[in-house]
Amino acid sequence: MGQIYFIILLLSFGYILQYAKLPQKMPHILNKIVIYVSFPAAVLLYAPKIEFSQSILLPIITPWILLLVSIISVFIFFNNTNTNTKAAMLLLIPLGNTSFLGFPLIESVLSKDALQYAILYDQFGSFLMLSIYGTIVVSLYSHGKLNPADIVKKIALFPPFIVLIYSILVGYTPEIIMPLVKMLASTLTPLAIISVGMTMKLRISEDRAIFAKALLLKLLILPILVLSVFIYFDFNDLTAKTTLLESAMPSMITAGILAANAGFAPRLSSTLVGYGIILSLVTVPLFGKLFDFIF
């Protein structure tokens, strides 16, 4: 629980900084540091520990199945909403905050050993979905056309993904630089959570019914479906538990930014991201306890 309190403290600190006289680009700068320095270092530290077996397919396949379920759910639950709101839901419901918030929460609720599976879920699931599916949604709902070159570029130039592929194929890091790698990886949690806090929006929009349904779907219904499948197939190891908790993460900040920038219900999108982060500090640990109780 100590690290949960630490996360809350960092979130609060980041949120308070919104009212400080800092450059508007400060969260963007922190995100760049995380993406280009902290995140790749964490991948380099934990990815080589991945033991290749059939079980590692679970955190890779699950997010894509959940993507399909999420799309269907959006067209069921939000079928009568306007086009912009539906486009926002198509981004915010499937795409989870599985790295910036996910890694610290996974480490807090489970252990550092679980991070290797969280990295697989995030990079082969959330990141690729953001790059491929997210680009498709924004392109089709904004411009009515798609540029495949944008997708390839986003995937090929994303530093953590490059490091992950290196770690899987080569898996060797010189011992002399490992202290530096550990030091840089340790900055991931504080920088990422402060950045999250600096971008949180808590003013509830006028679309309260949509807001409530989206939170319920994202934080409870979808992870309960994942847990039900795991119970049926008796998936009860650390890989399964990590996958469940990653599936229970709130909406991705980048998805909210994409939605807002594209004009897809910007106030609703920002509010969903903000409150989703706060509520997930309760719901994600509860799913961890529920998993332990069942298995």
Mean pLDDT over all residues of the chain? 89
Question: For the domain that residue 82 is a member of, what is the CATH number?
Answer: 1.20.1530.20
Q: Is residue 15 part of a domain?
A: no
Nearest one of 245, 269, 244 to 257, comparing CA atoms: 269
Please report the pLDDT score of residue 50 as a whole number. Answer: 75
Q: Is residue 4 part of a domain?
A: no
Reported as a single tens digit per residue, the pLDDT across 111-128 is 888 999 999 999 999 999
Most confident of 189-193, 225-229, 277-281: 225-229
Please report the pLDDT score of residue 93 as a whole number. Answer: 96
Q: Residue 221 has which token pair? A: 């219904």
Please report the pLDDT score of residue 144 as a whole number. Answer: 64
User: Which DSSP string corresponds to 54-112?
Assistant: GGGGHHHHHHHHHHHHHHHHHHHHSTTS-HHHHHHHHHHTT-B-TTTTHHHHHHHHS-G
- DSSP 8-state symbol, 157: T
Q: Is residue 11 part of a domain?
A: no
Please report the pLDDT score of residue 2 as a whole number. Answer: 65
Q: Is residue 65 part of a domain?
A: yes
Whether residue 75 is predicted with pLDDT greater than 70 in this model: the reply is yes
Give the up-direction half-sphere exposure of residue 143: CA atoms within 13 A in the CB hemisphere: 7
- Residue 124, SS3 per DSSP: helix
- Write out the residue range of the structural domain in which residue 134 sits: 25-290
Please report the pLDDT score of residue 109 as a whole number. Answer: 92
Q: Is residue 88 part of a domain?
A: yes
Q: Which residue has the tokens 């903000």?
A: 274
Query: Which is more confident, 74 or 35?
Result: 74
**What is the model's pTM?**
0.88
Whether residue 250 is predicted with pLDDT greater than 90 in this model: the reply is yes
**Mean pLDDT on 127-136:** 90
Q: What is the largest CA-CA distance in the chain?
A: 59
Q: Is residue 3 part of a domain?
A: no
Share of the chain above pLDDT 90, in %: 45
Number of domains in the chain: 1
Please report the pLDDT score of residue 153 as a whole number. Answer: 81
Whether residue 293 is predicted with pLDDT greater than 80 in this model: the reply is yes
Amino acid at 27: P
Q: Is residue 2 part of a domain?
A: no
Please report the pLDDT score of residue 196 as a whole number. Answer: 81
Most confident of 22-26, 166-170, 173-177, 213-217: 213-217
Reported as a single tens digit per residue, the pLDDT across 152-163 is 888 888 888 888
Reported as a single tens digit per residue, the pLDDT across 78-117 is 988 899 999 999 999 999 999 888 998 998 899 888 999 9
Can you tell me the distance from the alpha carbon of 110 to that of 125, in angstroms, rounded to the nearest whole number? 20
Please report the pLDDT score of residue 205 as a whole number. Answer: 66
Q: Is residue 19 part of a domain?
A: no
